[in-house]
A = this chain, B = another copy of it.
Amino acid sequence: MPLPVPVLPEGVDPAWLPPAAFRAVGGRRTLIRGSGPPAETVHGEVAEACRRFGGRVVRDAQPGEGAYDLVLDLGGEGLGEEGFTCAREGGTTTVTATCGRGLLYGLFHVVRLGEAAFTGAWARETHRPALALRMLDHWDNVAVHPVMGQVERGYAGGSLFWEDGRARGDLERVRAYGRLLAACGINAVAVNNVNVHETEAHLLTDRIGEVAAIADVLRPYGVRTHLSVSFAAPVVLGGLPTADPLDEAVRGWWATATRRVYEAIPDFGGYVVKADSEGQPGPFAYGRSHADGANLLAAAVGPYGGTVHWRAFVYDHRQDWRDRTTDRARAAYDHFVPLDGEFAADAVLQVKHGPMDFQVREPVSPLIGAMPRTRLAVEVQVTQEYTGQQRHVCWLGPMWSEVLRFRHDPESSVGERARGGLVGVSNAGDDPFWTGHPLAQANLYTFGRLAWRPDAEPREVLDEWIGLTFPKAPERLSDGLHAVLDGSWRTYEKYTAPLGVGWMVQPGHHYGPNVDGYEYSPWGTYHFADRDGIGVDRSVATGTGYAGQYAKPWAELYESPGTCPDELLLFFHHVSYGHTLHSGKTVIQHIYDTHFEGVAEVEEARRVWAGLADLVEPGRHARVAERYEEQLRSAREWRDQINSYFFRKSGVPDERGRRVH
């Protein structure tokens, strides 16, 4: 039975799967060969497209030469669970896959190609995901948290899964979400927050049925379901006196609990764990290592084909700002490198891409280059916690691409080292546009595609997204979207914290400027600005030694202000305001210039967007236009606060005499 295409609730935006995106496929004659659930999903998609655009779909006949425009064939060999080939010859486009999920990805490949899929002829191409795990972590709470709300760091309405303490009854929207994820290549979702509060802890045991219901609707889209769990579950849920990972009763408790999970969800993906981090429980309480902790859970899920994702985000969040020797940036490396080789095969160490916490600019985490005997997953933040909270346009494709192409040493890039997968903190919610800001959909799409192919050109991914989201977009629209998106990350960087120093945000909610907001805090997040200069000395020679966590040539490059890249200068060095950058500007003049430029670029983007009104659906256009007003207000506030702060501190006037308050 073909699986019906999900029906979106009234008013919900189809994102990158509007019906018109299926025009080329829907007007053709298609043959589908093979069976199993994903084949039914494929069939449902093609059938709906044909219903709309007049084509025809047939199941399981022998392909008669020329009789079909498109053959989707499950008869391939050796392509793995997710790979497919695509070729065109004699007027027929043929997609071949070994497994159903491959066929589904092949279909969406054809959809992306549009008319080009049915034009000319080309030799067989093989497509396989570079990373086997392409995962979204939802920081969704089941119960509304008194401080963090329904979705921690969520800027897109409520949760798709949970509402006010309960699972949503109607899962049609979750089905539609699964379909969007499949179309950009995402194959795993963790359905609850890594900060596991009291209510959420019970998902693992007595409330597993609610997770299973979600898993059931995501499965046909090739998306496996994962669960964040509390390391203290044996105590909190099981009533045991300890959660010690080496305790036999604890191991038994996890084994039993996990068996029950797999009874409910046979293809359950595994656990996500934030342990000994920002107040969450962990193995340190029992004098055990994080490898002990991760291996405990790996032993529970491994026999069923599951994985434990163990987060490396471990640092001292009760630091004393007076203490300049402790460096939060060092923490993940210092904690985990000694454990390399000790993690079980079914344990994945999930490492944030930078050493701090998703700032607009960070160096790539040295830990990623220093755990050759450990399966690593790299975590990025699709939700824009520190990058404008989906009120600002900030397309993160170029940043992620830089990270994924970074090479700690000549042997391999980050994308290649991420054997455990690429994980993104989701930016989606029950907002009609899914992501609050309609243009933030591009981040979700780009994340999925970069997880599939970390060396993809982000600009080409953006072209795909534009082609799907705005079918038949005239060149003016496509150019306009590129104009407002391509450079938006660097624009955001320009008007916020300069030269890699980070933070300078309002504490708590992290929106808007506050230069000293985290300066005297316990969070390990300092810029050390005084009347003479600014920045954190992380050199080996005179600083915290963090630069030495890199292999050559990076360790040497970062060690000296003379060779350190401008954009990371203040992350690695404390320099005077008069220090001259590679750009030829002084640090203080760079601060003034970039802040004026950043605001000017937002003004220009707003103008460009206004000029696209005739080409964009009115509701979407209006939503973006409104958010540009807020972005501009906020960017000006950033500019003025940062410029005033540094003028007051440095006493150096702007060379160009612009207004600094």
Q: CB within 8 Å of B: which residues of A?
A: 321-322, 513-516, 520, 529-532, 637, 640-641, 644-645, 647-651, 661
Q: Is the CB of B322 within 8 A of A651?
A: no
Give 9 A-B pairs besides A322-B640, A514-B516, A530-B649 with Cβ atoms closer than 8 angstroms. A322-B644, A513-B520, A514-B520, A516-B516, A520-B640, A520-B644, A520-B645, A530-B648, A648-B649
Q: Are B650 and A531 in contact (CB under 8 A)?
A: yes
* Chain B hits for A530, CB < 8 A: 647-649, 651
Q: Which residues of B contact A640 (CB under 8 A)?
A: 322, 520
Nearest CB to that of A532 among chain B residues?
A: B651
Query: B648–A529 contact, CB under 8 A?
Result: yes
Q: Once the chains bind, are A531 and B649 in contact (CB under 8 Å)? A: yes
A172 CB → nearest B CB, Å: 32
Partner of A515 from the list B516, B532, B644 (CB cut-off 8 Å) is B516
- Complex CA gap A650/B649 in Å reads 8
Could you name 5 residue pairs across A and B whose Cβ atoms are closer than 8 Å? A513-B520, A516-B516, A520-B640, A520-B644, A529-B648
Most B C-beta atoms less than 10 A away, residue of A321, A520, A641 = A520
Query: Once the chains bind, are B531 and A651 in contact (CB under 8 Å)?
Result: yes
Q: How many copies does the complex hold?
A: 2
Per DSSP, are chain A's interface residues mostly helix, strand or loop, or mixed? Answer: loop
The distance in angstroms between the C-alpha atoms of A649 and B514, with both chains bound, is 17
Task: With both chains docked as a complex, state the minimum distance between the C-beta of A643 and any C-beta of chain B, in angstroms.
Answer: 11
Chain B residue numbers with a CB within 8 Å of A647 are 530
* Chain B positions within 8 Å of A641 at CB level: 520
For A531, list chain B residues within 8 Å (CB): 531, 648-651
Instruction: Provide the bound-state CA to CA distance between A626 and B647, in Å.
Output: 43
Are the C-beta atoms of A661 and B532 separated by less than 8 Å? Answer: no
Bound Cα distance from A321 to B641, whole angstroms: 9
Q: Which residues of B contact A321 (CB under 8 A)?
A: 661
> Which of A515, A532, A661: most chain B CB closer than 10 A?
A661
* Least Cβ–Cβ distance between A379 and chain B, in angstroms: 31
Question: Do B649 and A649 touch (CB < 8 A)?
Answer: yes
Taking CB as reference atom, which chain B residue is nearest A146?
B146
In whole angstroms, how far apart are the Cα atoms of A136 and B645 in the complex? 42
Q: Which residues of B contact A513 (CB under 8 A)?
A: 520
Determine how close the nearest CB of chain B comes to the CB of A638; give it in whole angstroms.
Answer: 10
List the B residue with the shortest CB-CB distance to A637: B520
Per the bound structure, the CA–CA distance linking A644 and B516 in Å amounts to 12
Q: Which partner residue on chain B sits nearest A321 by CB separation?
A: B661
Task: List B contacts of A661 (CB < 8 A).
Answer: 321-322
For A648, list chain B residues within 8 Å (CB).
Answer: 529-531, 649
